[in-house]
A and B are shown apart, each in its own frame.
Chain A
Amino acid sequence: MSAFLTIRNLSAMLRGGTQRVLRSVDLSVEAGEVRGLVGESGAGKSMIGKAVLGILPSAVTVVEGEILLDGKNLLAMPQKERRRTIGAVAALIPQDPLTALNPTRRIGRQITDRLVDILGWSKADAHARALQLLHEVQIENPERVMASYPHELSGGMRQRVLIASAFAANPKMIIADEPTTALDVTVQKQILKLIREMQARHGTAMLFVTHDLGVVSKVCQKLSVLYSGKVVEDRAVSDFFAAPGHAYSKALLAATPKYTDPFASLLPVDEAVIAAVDEEVKAADREWRHG
């Protein structure tokens, strides 16, 4: 067992629904490695992240499978213990920096509270740690930022704060759910670079949700492609870009603008490819129902 996070055969359903939103998902992230998770909107990328972090919406229930985090079987634990286990090793970098910070509380408190309340650090240690991290995410004047409220900071600044906050408790695993989509392009690049640096410096395992293969090529070592809640491709990023294994991935790659030639005509994902992958999903569903 070398992987830090292992998801095995995970299926989830909407309460009262008949369709699975996650279809027997297998996925693993080794310690210190970054795995990209791509797929179109609604494919279930966030759902996987939320399942790992124990924050699935109440309308969604896991119907089978297991999630092993740091060797511990999350779904077999009572809720309290699960929360504690997750909190001790994992953190989240959310998508929208606007709603990811509590508007009524100062930045400093939002970073340090978790360290003090949940991990039992002293206030002084927590404060020092927050300062150090804000410095690491290249925030000038960290003391002033700590005394600010979220609305006083720009989107890029908030995302930096969120990154600092995610790394604060020395997590071994971070789930980044499209951490740059809410930012404008130039800021996006800086934040991506920052995430990569922070990840490398701290050796944190990361599940990086995105729908941008260009981002994957820069940040990730492994890649899972999700279609309609089903993993259709799972391989090393270098292999993937050399030769994607699945027809859907191939089409996805063809539909991604290249940095070397951003104005090349993009192919829309072929209808025949979609029909084929839809059929594959249906076949998997049939097998699942009978098996």
Chain B
Amino acid sequence: MLDGRGAVGRKASWRLFLSGGWLVLIALLAVAAPLISPHDPLEQDLFAGRLPPIWMDGADPAYLLGTDSLGRDVLSRIIHGSRVALTVALIAGLATGFVGSALGLLAGTLRGRTDLVISRLVDIWMAFPPVLFAILLIAVLGTGLSSIVIAIVVIDWTRFCRVVRAEAMNQSKMDYIASAVVAGQGRAGILWREIGPNVLPTIVALLTLEMGIAVIVEAILSFVNLSISTDAPTWGGMIAEGRTAVYQAWWVLVFPLVVLFLTVLSFSQLGEGLKDRFDPVLR
């Protein structure tokens, strides 16, 4: 028993360490981007186009990960791209989590008509194919950071709502809620004190997952050229550009793709790790 728990603890902490470490690194890159980027991410040098990464023949040591067809430094563009990715992840993740969890908590705790209305809304909502929905929304709202955030919230709040509602209902059936009601605890107290903390681990796990999803959605929208419309570099945009010359300069596609993949993976692993670590029932 004790050994088993120890093993879970160790696995969880490795997971937390690696995923958390990667995300901290990306966050540092995002914050310090102008200071640490070796080049201006927008600066073109047509004489230095499609230079390979440093360990390959014909590389220029000034461009660690090579350059794209316009001669822009891939590393600097990845570093600057993390800004958009993390901003969207943070804002869209939190906003989606807030809206979805609040509605889910209300539905699961108050039940009755509130639950009926919210649940039907979720059902209807989920009938829309999400990517199409996103593109449609951006077409209506126009491109830009706030549009992306709104699109993600509008599409994905149901994910939180469904899970949090079910969890809140589970908790409501527990005897400790009955005792709290008997003791005279009001609705707000029950929600805030009794049910809230018990669904929090679930919310946190979903939140990190959602941040990963936000990064992907942003990348997809950039890929189809519907993200923030300024010329700030984004990972999705880089992947789209890299695709056109993948046989001549694979590095323009592969490096941002790997960074995107690791970031999304880290977000979801962070969620799992935190859940294992902080869920008092599992602990």
User: Does A86 count as interface, using CB distance less than 8 angstroms?
Assistant: yes
Closest B residue, CB atoms, query A80: B186
A54 touches B181 (CB 8 A): yes
User: Does B197 count as interface, using CB distance less than 8 angstroms?
Assistant: yes
User: Does B132 count as interface, using CB distance less than 8 angstroms?
Assistant: no
B162-190 CB contact bits vs A (8 Å, 1 = yes)? 00000000000011101111111100010
User: Does B10 count as interface, using CB distance less than 8 angstroms?
Assistant: no
The dominant DSSP class at the B interface is helix
User: Does A265 count as interface, using CB distance less than 8 angstroms?
Assistant: no
B179 touches A100 (CB 8 A): yes
Within A80-134, the residues touching B (CB, 8 Å) are: 83-84, 86-88, 90-92, 94-96, 99-105, 110, 113-114, 117-118
- Residues of chain A lying within 8 A (CB to CB) of residue B180: 102, 114
B183 touches A91 (CB 8 A): yes
From A110, A165, A169, residue with most partner B Cβ within 10 Å: A110
A151 touches B175 (CB 8 A): no
From B181, B183, B189, B283, residue with most partner A Cβ within 10 Å: B183
B106-117 CB contact bits vs A (8 Å, 1 = yes)? 000001100000
Closest A residue, CB atoms, query B186: A83
B141-159 CB contact bits vs A (8 Å, 1 = yes)? 0000000000000000000
Q: Which of A58, A103, A169 contacts B198 (CB 8 A)?
A: A103
- Residues of chain B lying within 8 A (CB to CB) of residue A114: 180, 183-185
- Residues of chain B lying within 8 A (CB to CB) of residue A165: 179
User: Does A220 count as interface, using CB distance less than 8 angstroms?
Assistant: no
User: Does A53 count as interface, using CB distance less than 8 angstroms?
Assistant: yes
User: Does B281 count as interface, using CB distance less than 8 angstroms?
Assistant: yes
- Residues of chain B lying within 8 A (CB to CB) of residue A84: 184
- Residues of chain A lying within 8 A (CB to CB) of residue B197: 102, 104-105
Q: Which of A55, A96, A151, A169 contacts B281 (CB 8 A)?
A: A151
- Residues of chain A lying within 8 A (CB to CB) of residue B11: none
Distance (whole angstroms) from the CB of B116 to the closest CB of chain A: 12
- Residues of chain B lying within 8 A (CB to CB) of residue A96: 175
Distance (whole angstroms) from the CB of B191 to the closest CB of chain A: 13
Distance (whole angstroms) from the CB of B280 to the closest CB of chain A: 5
Within B181-216, the residues touching A (CB, 8 Å) are: 181-185, 189, 193-194, 197-198, 200
A100 touches B175 (CB 8 A): yes
Q: Which of B178, B189, B280 contacts A92 (CB 8 A)?
A: B178
Give the docked Cα–Cα distance between A128 and B13 (Å): 39
Distance (whole angstroms) from the CB of B178 to the closest CB of chain A: 5
A87 touches B280 (CB 8 A): no
B281 touches A103 (CB 8 A): yes
A99-B174, A100-B175, A105-B193 are contacts. A117–B185 as well, Cβ < 8 Å?
A: yes
A96-B175, A105-B193 are contacts. A118–B112 as well, Cβ < 8 Å?
A: no
- Residues of chain B lying within 8 A (CB to CB) of residue A118: 183-185
Give the docked Cα–Cα distance between A216 and B87 (Å): 65
- Residues of chain B lying within 8 A (CB to CB) of residue A58: 111-112
B182 touches A53 (CB 8 A): yes
Give the docked Cα–Cα distance between A90 and B181 (Å): 11
B179 touches A149 (CB 8 A): no
Give the docked Cα–Cα distance between A202 and B174 (Å): 28
B198 touches A104 (CB 8 A): yes
Distance (whole angstroms) from the CB of A160 to the closest CB of chain B: 15
A58-B112, A95-B175, A117-B189 are contacts. A102–B184 as well, Cβ < 8 Å?
A: no
- Complex A-B, nearest 7 residue pairs according to Cβ-Cβ distance, in ascending order: A87-B184, A100-B175, A104-B197, A94-B175, A99-B174, A114-B183, A118-B184
Q: Known pairs A90-B182, A102-B197. 16 more at Cβ < 8 A?
A: A54-B181, A55-B182, A58-B112, A83-B181, A87-B184, A92-B182, A96-B175, A99-B175, A100-B175, A100-B179, A102-B194, A105-B193, A110-B176, A118-B183, A165-B179, A169-B183
Q: List 23 A-B contacts (CB under 8 A).
A: A50-B178, A53-B181, A55-B178, A55-B181, A87-B182, A91-B183, A94-B175, A99-B174, A99-B175, A100-B174, A100-B175, A100-B179, A102-B176, A102-B193, A102-B194, A102-B198, A105-B197, A110-B176, A114-B183, A114-B185, A117-B189, A118-B184, A151-B280
